Amino acid sequence: MKRFSPMLLVLCVACTTVEEPLTIMDDTNVQLKYDGSHQFVVKRGNSIVSSSEITWQSADTKVGNINKSGKFEGRKIGITEVTAATQNGSFKAEVEIEPYYNTYSEPVLDFYSSKQSIKAKEKRELVSDDGIMLVYHIGNTKAERLIYFFEKDQLIGCGVFFTDKSFKKEVNTFLRERYPEAITRGDLSGYLADTEQFAALINEQAAAGLAVTYLPQTVNGRRIANSDAQAGKVLSLVQSYNWQK
């Protein structure tokens, strides 16, 4: 009867041990637009892990959501972290929603701040200060003027004026990819910030042509009591202002 050495048995067992296949997420750094999507996949070795074995999560659902199948849908500009939790551990990926357009730098949106406070934060060239308005020169090829409107030394709205109405589609996308919730006010359409603190309305019938008006909506989470009257005043000023004269 043949006898096997204990050392030989250990070596044979070691030789037949199969390593657990490596589990990985296919993409760990993804760039999309707000209207784009990406299908994430988790692999164990060469095999795709079933969605039923994975719990997907987006850290910031305001930037984008991911469904049970691992499909990520963009929502607005920003960065979020996607997590795939499996029995072999959790795997993470960064998703960045990039802009189609950087048409202009938005105003200082500190509503109800004083004129002096806005002046201290605004870095563009001041054109005029007539008491109720601060007028700034934007000076790129698309956006020309920025106006802050004040009442009793408090910022109640602002307007961005463009050089041509043909930029409406671009301006609409610029706002949509930052503020996804569409709203209307009378004949004007626009978008509401996720914080609900302000809205941006597009007006292509202003005296100066195309304009975007930013209006406050809430303060500390509360609806502004006289917001309709203030909004009407600001919209009227935007409608009548003509920087081209």
The total of other beta-carbon atoms located within 10 Å of residue 234's CB is 22
**57 part of a folded domain:** yes
pLDDT of residue 139: 83
Question: Is 134 in the same domain as 64?
Answer: no
How confident is the model at residue 131, as a pLDDT? 87
Assess if residue 38 is contained within a domain: yes
Handedness of CA 123, 128, 133, 135 (dihedral sign): negative
Please tell me the distance from the alpha carbon of residue 7 to that of residue 9, in angstroms, as a whole number. Answer: 5
**How many domains are contained in the chain?**
2
Per-residue confidence (pLDDT) for residue 17, from 0 to 100: 57
121 and 229 in a single domain? The answer is: yes
Give backbone dihedrals phi and psi of 45, rounded to 5 degrees, phi first. Answer: 70, -125
127 and 93 share one domain: no
**In-domain check, residue 9:** no
pLDDT of residue 223: 58
**CA angle 164-166-170, nearest 5°?**
110
Domain of residue 120, residue span: 115-240
Residue 151 within a domain: yes
In a structure prediction context, what are the per-residue pLDDT tens digits for the chain, which is 245 residues long?
Answer: 555 455 544 444 445 555 667 788 989 999 999 999 999 999 998 899 999 999 999 999 999 999 999 999 999 999 999 999 999 899 999 999 999 999 999 999 999 999 999 999 999 999 999 989 999 999 888 999 999 999 999 999 999 999 999 999 999 999 999 999 999 988 899 999 999 899 999 998 777 789 999 999 865 555 554 567 888 889 888 888 886 66
Give me the count of residues in the chain.
245
Domain assignment of residue 157, yes or no: yes
Asked if 74 and 174 sit in the same domain, the reply is no
What per-residue confidence (pLDDT) applies to 208?
73
Say if CB 95 and CB 38 are below 8 A apart. yes
* pLDDT score for 18: 56
Backbone φ, ψ for residue 49 (5° rounding) = -75, 130
Mark whether 152 and 80 lie in a shared domain.
no
104 assigned to some structural domain: no
Co-location of 146 and 220 in the same domain: yes
